[in-house]
Amino acid sequence: MKYVKKTPRIPIKFINADTNEILFEIKDRTWMTMNELFADGIATAVMEQELKGKKLPKNLLILGVGEYELK
Domain range annotation of the chain: 3-70
15: which residues sit within 8 A by CB, 6+ positions away?
A: 21, 22, 23, 60, 61, 62, 63
Res 33: pLDDT: 80
Res 65: pLDDT: 85
Query: C-alpha distances in angstroms, 43 versus 8, 24, 27, 58?
Result: 22, 13, 15, 13
- State yes or no: pLDDT of 39 exceeds 90: no
pTM across the whole model? 0.81
Mean pLDDT confidence for 21-42: 86
Res 48: pLDDT: 95
In which band, very low, low, confident or very high, does the pLDDT at 28 lie, cut at 50, 70 and 90?
Answer: confident
